[in-house]
Structure 1
Amino acid sequence: MERNQSTRRTFVTGAAAAAGGALALGGTVSTGRAEAASRSGTRSGAAAGPTVAVLGGGVAGLTAAHELAERGFAVTVHEKKALGGKARSMDVPDSATGGRKPLPGEHGFRFIPGFYLNLPDTLRRIPFPGNPNGCHDNLVSSTELLFARTGREDIRLPFATLGTPPGPMTPDELVRMIRGLLITACRLPVHEALYFANRVLVFLTSCERRRLETWERTPWWEFIRAERMSPEYQRLLAIGITRNIVATKAEVASTKTVANCLEAFLFNILGRGADGEPDRVLNAPTNEAWIDPWVGHLRSLGVRFEIGSAVVDLPYADGRVTGAVVQDPDGTRRTVTADHYVCAMPVEHARKTWGPALRAADPALSRADALETDWMTGIQFYLTEPTPVVHGHINHLDSPWALTSVGQAQYWKGRHIPAEYGDGRVRECFSVDISEWDRPGILYGKTAKQCTRDEVAREVWAQLKAALNDTGRTVLRDSVLHSWFLDPAVDGIGTPEPHNDEQLLIHPTGTWFDRPGSRTKVPNLFLAGDYVAVDIDLATMEGANASGRQAVNALLDAVGSAAPRCEVKPLYRAPEFEELKRHDAFRHRLGLPNVFDLG
């Protein structure tokens, strides 16, 4: 299995080579109007308008590039590793034989729920052969969700196909619905199910100021009174919703962030304000179904890409960013220039490029230092037999490393996996996200960070089997395990200095106030990324997409452009609760609790 491993250095080098090589080393590279004009005569769709350097080629950066190119800007995207960022899929090194494609690996599996509204719009605008709605037609709906319990009965929840959305709901009807679901499907005690349903109602009817001023500062664990409840309640509704899904501990997770997501998912299930089914995945590896077509479309719009060099500094002088200093793989530094800069790198990388002068110009940048990231990283197991455990995602609630997983091959319709990928023996890609890296496992008694790469794979496999093979049937068998692939962004595990180059923004209480907006006080610098303040308030591809749109709108406003603004769609809010929220705003001003709050 070790042959599937690659170092971070070889992975970066391979990404650069795949992009056709970095630009010539040394000196200053200008992406100004003169260069844009010269390109316009040789490349279809190339723009000759104001130049923009998009720093980061993940979902936020590609979204900004897409919107800017459609509005006539000359855009160059600078990306350190590979386009698509954490959303991309990647080739497993040395896995292909006989003319087949390499096995597809990834940072983590794709999950595109129906309450996403901005990302689906972008997917529709990316042409894909044979698809009337572009890449959006590559979305496939799951039909169920499994909460896999270790040593006890699993909880299997079907998703009904969206039909006609239900009519207006009263607070009593909402509480009854949630209570019934928790009692019937999750087997919670009646009083606990009723209490949780009441807490959801409290949030849904809370005004925006209460959400921001009170619930943003209240831990989810405290909001749902988890310390008073049964271990089942704590595991399912506190830990399962937070650590396993958004890599944040329930004891510190912001209620505003968690409940915002829960509200959106709840109404998605009810068919309210949704783009599609609650659980959707792609019908092929991510790059095939989405990223590669997107990059091809952006090239047709004139977007240029420079891959393999890291942005290390944004010099500031005379009230503006004067360039972006990039470092090539051999250590050589050079400066690229443009009229405007969209900083679309992950926050842990972006803030390293904001020097003292830039931070002094906009103190909001320094507040982003308080934002926290944690490890949520994927590993794929390749199996020689189809293993569709359920037609949907699996939350391994009792796994020490907070695992979630999905069997992907069942969605890759029209693809004969053995004939197209690897060595001809693989028939399943079982993709797993590891959200807890600091808790001992069941096999070696070590944390994931303390384990070697091989030990991580063996430990995760053991935890998967403990959750899935404990109900009288063997779901996962050692004999069908072909190989595995752990995200190469994870480096140095098993040593005193473990490192993860692609971490996930997490959401402890109060951190909303440290999240910057897209428009800075520097007139030619704009921010995009899942750490930027947007309505979804969660580190997601949807948040990254919305922030890219928001950054473009800020740029258009700054230059006084007459171009149409990008639509940034907010999360759905149920209209029948608006009157109750207005009443709550009055109570909040008086210092009174929400009218439904039982304490």
Structure 2
Amino acid sequence: MSEDQHTTVGPNTPLRRGIPRRAVLTGPAAAAVIAGTAVALPHATVPSARAVPRTGVGRGRDVAIFGGGMAGLAAAHELSERGFSATAYEPAYLGGKARSFDVPGTARGGRRGLPGEHGFRFYPSCYQHVPEMMQRIPVGRSNVRDRHLTSVESAMIAFDESGYAPTTVPASLIGFVDHAPQIATLENLRNSLITGLKFVVDVPATELTYFVSRLLVMATSCTERRIAQWENRSWMEFVKAKGKSRSYQRYLVGALTRSLVAAKPETASARTIGQIGLALATAASGLIPQYRSDLVRGDVDRILDRPTNQAWIDPWVAHLRTRGVRFVMGAGLGRLDVGGGRITGARLTTGQIVEADWYVAAMPIDRLKPLLTPELLDAAPSLAGVPALQDDWMVGIQYYLRRRSDLPPGHIAALGTPWALTGLFQAAPWNVDFSRTYGDGTVKDCLSIDISEWEKPGILYDKPAKQCTRQEIAREVWAQMSRALNAGGRETLRADDIVTWSLDPGITWSGGRTHNATPLMVNTKGSYGNRPDAHTEIPNLFIGGDHVRSNIDLATMEGANESGRRVTNAIIAAADSPAAEATLFPLWELPVLEPLKQLDRDRHRSGLPHILDV
């Protein structure tokens, strides 16, 4: 290897095998007795916090990682702590879809440029891998998690339909106490009453009861049934939305899929949507101590307290450099050469040939698919399903405002909006004076909005987002969000407050079409069988990314981070390394449900339906 490709980690390089005390798992069985039941997917096993040391001297330490997003950085982090020499090759930006950036040309008077991003992010307490890794990234005398991860203690629920009024609800008792003057107002109480009464009218009690019963079916289904049956049904089919009221379909069925994961309820895997819904609910309940959150203390909904790169990505990359990780920018993976059942080399888009002991393809599926040549698939048939995996768009736009929002800090769910919008005013939760920190001094706040639906007509131009110009998208999103938030009679959004705006630069136009450089994989029904494991039949090729089978089982930064750990463990095994395995966290579910799951397991093995499946 040449020095510009890999840095050798010497035999005296310290390996950090210890796991932070609060992250240690004593084993799924013991934890289930104490508090929660671990739910892990087939082929996605959960090792103990410390692996049994391997014997042997080990083979090969040079790792080439193609992709500098969440999966690639996580793999580099774990591998560097275990004495491997990792080089990450990234064609564009480190951090992938998680990155943030300064909007070009907006910095003035010593201030930073206006903060732009792919879309606002949140870190629910069922996320375990990302916060644990944040805790291992130093920031001064602290770390990223303790310094920058903060709770958001309220949320605004708005409905894009006449008769509803936007309502602010606390995310915890602490949140209510801290923001009581803004939450316990006559206006908000009136809006809550109006919205609650209309919802009861629009969604009949029988339908609401039925929806809850379907959630109970998922909660008490064994893992085997979830994979064999619910994985192959769409969320819409599972909750049996056909023939139900419009509001049942629009709010109960559609809200979770469109606002959380950009999936369509007509095609999304019922197992995936149901399991993440259960995880969010159990994390909020406080009955699962592993999640360390509840509706009293908070931490159910968390965000970073500043732009992602400032808070997390930049300190992370700096830390990895100190551990010997090398980054080669402007270099994507163009081809993997196969010979004798192994990867013999990798050709970069720059023309350079990379040779390493281990190769990691840690890239999105749209960039992985072109690499799957017939020769590679012959050697790794488990990757044959990757071309069938589907992606969708979930993209952000930021509006920079001359007036600071007086809403309590929290996420905004604009339910029923044609483009499935969610948002966050950033000044309050970041606890920052925007005018002194960003831009030219005129911007007081930023409303960051995620657009999750790109194929349905809007309300201004009667066109889907994919057929709109950049300017039309900005006007359409503002109009939809304004209609939802201003429905209660209060003018929460005013067009004359907009100083400027920024759409994710990954959205471009050419040849009469709109293009997205960063699509998001969605878990469509039946897609689990097409998703790869971190290891392949090629002994020196590994796959990272949110499309890899994982316990979180969702295309998220949490899933990508987990995949980086799985890559690490697979390389440890292939290299016969004595290093400790990277910790993998399961989803946790209520142990009281375990007897019912066992009953369902017996029925499933006997070919019987779930006892509540009526």
Give the number of the structure with larger relative contact order, counting CA–CA contacts within 8 Å between residues 6 or more apart.
2
Distance 2:403 2:562 in 1: 39
Match of 2:53 in 1: none
Q: 2:441 aligns with which of 424, 428, 433?
A: 424
Counterpart in the other structure of 2:308: 286
Matched residue, 1:179:
none
1:435-450 matches, within 5 Å, as 435-450=452-467
CA distance in 1: counterparts of 2:173 and 2:134, whole angstroms? 22
1:157, distance to aligned residue in structure 2 (A) = 3.5
**Secondary structure, aligned partner of 2:311:** helix
User: More deviation in 423-432 or 268-277?
Assistant: 268-277
Q: Which residue of 1 aligns with 2:244?
A: 229
**How is 1:220-369 mapped onto 2 (pairs within 5 angstroms)?**
220-271=235-286, 272=288, 273-276=290-293, 277-328=299-350, 333-369=351-387
Moved more, 183-192 or 366-375: 183-192
Q: Does 1:465 align with 2:487?
A: no
| 1:9 match | none
Displacement of 1:120 after TM fit? 1.0
Q: Which residue is equivalent to 2:546?
A: 530
Residues 144 and 311, structure 2, Cα contact 8 Å, conserved in 1:
no
Aligned mate of 2:67, from 56, 59, 65? 56
The 1-side partners of 2:168 and 2:490 are apart by 16
Q: Counterpart in 2 of 1:399? A: 417
Q: Secondary structure at the match of 1:522?
A: coil
| 2:169 alignment partner AA | L
Cα displacement string for residues 505-527 of structure 1 (whole angstroms, at most 9, x for unaligned residues): 01111001100000001111111
Q: Distance in 1 between matches of 2:419 and 2:484?
A: 12
Count of residue correspondences: 540
Q: CA 1:286–1:478 in structure 2 vs 1: closer, same or farther (change >3 Å)?
A: same
Cα distance in 2 for partners of 1:547, 1:368 equals 16
Sort the Cα spacing of 1:112 and 1:186 in 2 relative to 1 into closer, same or farther, 3 A: farther
Query: Is the CA contact (8 Å cut-off) linking 2:408 and 2:428 kept in structure 1?
Result: no
Cα distance between partner residues in 2 of 1:574 and 1:252:
28
**What SS does structure 1 have at the residue aligned with 2:595?**
helix
Deviation at 1:396, TM superposition (A): 1.2
Aligned partners of 2:107 and 2:440 also within 8 Å: yes
- Where 1:457 maps in the other structure, the secondary structure is helix
Does 2:428 match 1:410?
A: yes
C-alpha separation in 1, matches of 2:151 and 2:320: 27
1:198-219 deviation per Cα after TM superposition (whole angstroms, max 9, x unaligned): 1111111101111000100111
**Mapped pair 1:105 → 2:116:** yes
Paired residues for 1:90-239 under 5 Å: 90-131=101-142, 133-150=143-160, 151=162, 152-161=164-173, 187=200, 188-239=203-254
User: Per-residue CA shift, 1:264-298, capped at 9, x if unaligned?
Assistant: 00101102231442211110110111111101110
* Distance of aligned partners of 1:461 and 1:342 in 2 relative to their CA distance in 1, 3 Å threshold: same
> Following the alignment from structure 1 to structure 2, what is the Cα–Cα distance between the partners of residues 563 and 476?
54
- Are the equivalent residues in 2 in contact too, given 1:111–1:279 (CA < 8 A)? yes
Alpha-carbon distance in 1 for matches of 2:460, 2:485: 16
For 2:386, the aligned partner's letter is A
Retained in 2: the 8 A contact 1:512–1:533? yes
Summarize deviations over 1:61-91 as a string: whole Å, max 9, x none: 1000000000011111111111100001011
TM-score, normalization by structure 2? 0.84
Give 1:161 deviation, angstroms. Answer: 4.5
Q: CA shift at 1:153, angstroms?
A: 2.2
**1:236 aligns to what SS in structure 2?**
helix
Aligned partners of 2:394 and 2:452 also within 8 Å: yes
1:243 deviation in Å?
A: 2.0
CA distance in 2, matches of 1:134, 1:103: 22
Taking structure 1 as reference, are residues 507 and 44 closer, same or farther at Cα in structure 2, changes over 3 Å only?
closer
1:573 counterpart (561, 584, 589): 589
Deviation digits for residues 116-153 of structure 1 (CA, Å, limit 9, x no counterpart): 1111110100011243x443431111122222112222
State the one-letter code of the partner of 1:364: S
Aligned to 1:572, the other structure's residue is in SS state strand
1:529 and 1:211 mapped to 2: Cα distance?
Answer: 23
Give the structure 2 partner of residue 387 of structure 1.
Answer: 405
> Mapping of 1:551-566 within 5 angstroms?
551-566=567-582
- 2:82 aligns with 71
Q: For residues 323 and 445 of structure 2, what CA distance do their matches in structure 1 show? A: 36
- Counterpart of 2:267, as a letter, is V
Structure 2 contact 7–325 (Cα < 8 Å) conserved:
no
Q: Could you tell me how far apart the structure 1 residues matched to 2:392 and 2:412 are?
A: 21
Give the aligned residue type for 2:544: A
Match for 1:253: what amino acid? A
Letter in 2 for 1:159: A
Distance 1:571 1:185 in 2: 35
2:523 pairs with one of 485, 507, 524: 507
Contact 1:215 1:255 in 2 (8 A): yes
Q: 3-state SS of the aligned residue for 2:610?
A: coil
Say which is worse superposed, 351-360 or 288-297, in terms of deviation.
Answer: 351-360
Residues in 1 aligned to 2:585 and 2:234: alpha-carbon distance in whole angstroms: 27
Q: Do the aligned partners of 1:117 and 1:275 also contact (CA within 8 Å) in 2?
A: no
> Could you tell me how far 1:316 is from its partner in structure 2?
1.2
Q: CA deviation at 1:481?
A: 0.3
Hey, what does 2:391 align to over in structure 1? 373
Q: Unpaired segments of 5 or more residues in structure 2?
A: 16-58, 176-194, 294-298
- Opposite residue 429 of structure 2, the aligned amino acid is Y
Distance 2:133 2:173 in 1: 24
Q: 1:162–1:474: structure 2 CA closer, same or farther, 3 Å change rule?
A: closer
The one-character-per-residue Cα deviations of 1:365-392 (angstroms, maximum 9, x if unpaired) are: 1211100001111111111111254422
> What code does the residue aligned with 1:285 have?
P
Shift of 1:349: 0.5
Deviation at 1:431, TM superposition (A): 0.6
**Aligned-partner SS, 1:498:** strand
Q: Is the 8 A contact 1:155 1:186 kept in 2?
A: no
Equivalent in 536, 540, 561 of residue 545 of structure 1: 561
Q: CA 1:321/1:258 → structure 2, altered by over 3 Å: closer, same or farther?
A: same
Are the aligned partners of 1:115 and 1:275 in contact in 2 as well (CA < 8 Å)? Answer: no
Mapped to 2, the partners of 1:210 and 1:183 lie a distance apart of 35
TM-score (norm 1): 0.86
